[in-house]
């Protein structure tokens, strides 16, 4: 049964002497997926296109956000108030459930990748060149924050951020960048991580976090024990000693006097995290991760929709319990597209419905109980959307 998709034809007022401009609505690849509850949800993608449902995905309306940017991610705190991130540096805000949008902030020259709000006031946005933006007044003003302790030649592109509360958030990016703040971003401390993977998304999972990235990467981000922190300190000492020995050897070979470099200070906090890889059994890229009310994580990527569960299991001696991860793939329904399709965003409703979106307007619905999923709607399919030049006014 073909789902009805209506286009909201919004007329943008212009000065009388100006000619009207036109925006061609073209649903393409989709990335942003956000469900506020079982009924109200949003999907966004190329050309500032946003789709909204108010009946659990049975019907969808198309909304133009006012700028032809790729909408990477959305973060809603209730049915009315939400934010979106545009890849060209725009931060969008709505206070009427997505009917109207304003651009609160534009970071020209920076590609922004993710946004996350803890409540109506406190949120973060991240992007290329290690850029971090923070607001504590609902986006009326934005303050730039910095990473502390990143060791690398180039600043990392930050791809994912998740706000746990008004004070605590975790971000991830390329070159193995994992950082956290416990004081609303006054200090963003980079966790020591010898794995230089590229992380694309992060979600909170209880007292820990889970991240996903390229080449089949699924990672746990767990509060470090004292023993782990001692190991990190020893590893840093060994790494510094190796660098000094190499510099001395180079100076001797060139018959120069060795001049010691000043060692950068190591800043520590009461809380730190250790990063470990979970064997996903895949080498395909994973693009997004979210967690459900039950604590399970759901991962999407190339040809994948996976469930990552965390459970307490007795150790071999049977005298203690250890938290272990298990990964299971959801089964696609009959007639699902070819296996090389990809999904770029995922969300889970309170009742356990899974929503994902991706290549060429594909919207997928699944369920956590029966572990299946199938195509709900293909917005770009012939006849699904009537392409109309609407007087929306490009910006």
* Sequence spans of domains, the chain: 25-222+273-390
β-sheet bridge partners, residue 188: 147
Region 232-238: mean pLDDT is: 62
Q: What is the per-residue pLDDT across 141-150, written as a single tens digit (0 to 9) for each?
A: 999 999 988 8
Whole-number Å distance between alpha carbons of 209 and 224: 12
pLDDT number for residue 251: 77
Reported pTM: 0.83
pLDDT band at 272 (very low <50, low <70, confident <90, very high): confident
Which CATH architecture is the domain 25-222+273-390 placed in?
A: 7 Propeller (2.130)
Residue 262 has pLDDT above 50, yes or no: yes
pLDDT number for residue 315: 67
Using alpha carbons only, give the angle 214, 220, 221 rounded to the nearest 5 degrees. Answer: 110
Which residue shows structure tokens 């399709």?
341
Q: What is the per-residue pLDDT across 167-180, written as a single tens digit (0 to 9) for each?
A: 999 999 999 999 99
Which candidate, 321, 320, 322, 294, places its Cα nearest to that of 309?
Answer: 294
Give the mean pLDDT of the chain: 84
Region 221-238: mean pLDDT is: 69
Whole-number Å distance between alpha carbons of 156 and 188: 14
Region 229-238: mean pLDDT is: 63
pLDDT band at 225 (very low <50, low <70, confident <90, very high): low
């Amino acid at each position: 049964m073909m789902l009805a998709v209506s286009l909201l034809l919004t007329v943008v007022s212009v000065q009388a002497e100006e000619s009207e401009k036109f925006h061609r609505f073209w649903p393409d690849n989709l990335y942003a997926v956000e469900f506020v509850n079982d009924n109200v949800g949003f999907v966004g993608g190329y050309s500032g296109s946003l789709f909204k449902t108010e009946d659990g995905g049975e019907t969808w309306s198309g909304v133009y956000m006012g700028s032809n940017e790729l909408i990477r991610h959305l973060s809603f705190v209730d049915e009315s108030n939400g934010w979106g991130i545009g890849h060209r540096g725009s931060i969008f805000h709505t206070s009427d459930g997505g009917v109207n949008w304003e651009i609160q902030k534009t970071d020209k020259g920076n590609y922004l990748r993710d946004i996350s709000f803890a409540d109506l006031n406190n949120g973060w946005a991240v992007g290329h060149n290690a850029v971090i933006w923070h607001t504590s007044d609902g986006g009326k003003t934005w303050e730039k924050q910095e990473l502390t302790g990143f060791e690398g030649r180039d600043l990392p592109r930050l791809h994912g951020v998740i706000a746990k509360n008004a004070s605590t958030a975790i971000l991830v990016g390329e070159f193995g960048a994992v950082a956290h703040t416990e004081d609303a971003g006054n200090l963003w401390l980079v966790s020591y991580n010898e794995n230089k993977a590229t992380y694309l998304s992060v979600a909170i999972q209880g007292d820990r976090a889970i991240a996903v990235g390229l080449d089949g990467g699924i990672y746990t981000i767990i509060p470090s024990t004292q023993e782990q922190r001692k190991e990190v300190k020893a590893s840093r000492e060994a790494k510094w000693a190796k660098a000094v020995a190499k510099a001395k050897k180079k100076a001797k070979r060139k018959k120069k006097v060795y001049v010691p470099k000043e060692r950068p200070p190591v800043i520590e906090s009461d809380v730190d995290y250790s990063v470990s890889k979970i064997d996903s059994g895949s080498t395909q890229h994973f693009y997004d991760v979210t967690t459900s009310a039950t604590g399970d994580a759901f991962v999407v990527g190339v040809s994948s929709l996976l469930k990552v569960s965390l459970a307490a299991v007795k150790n071999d001696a049977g005298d203690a319990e250890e938290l272990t991860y298990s990964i299971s793939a959801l089964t696609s329904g009959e007639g699902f597209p070819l296996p090389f399709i990809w999904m770029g965003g995922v969300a889970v409703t309170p009742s356990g419905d899974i929503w994902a979106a991706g290549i060429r307007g594909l919207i997928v619905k699944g369920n956590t109980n029966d572990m299946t999923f199938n195509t709900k709607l293909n917005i770009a399919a012939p006849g699904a959307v009537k392409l109309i030049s609407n007087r929306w006014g490009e910006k």
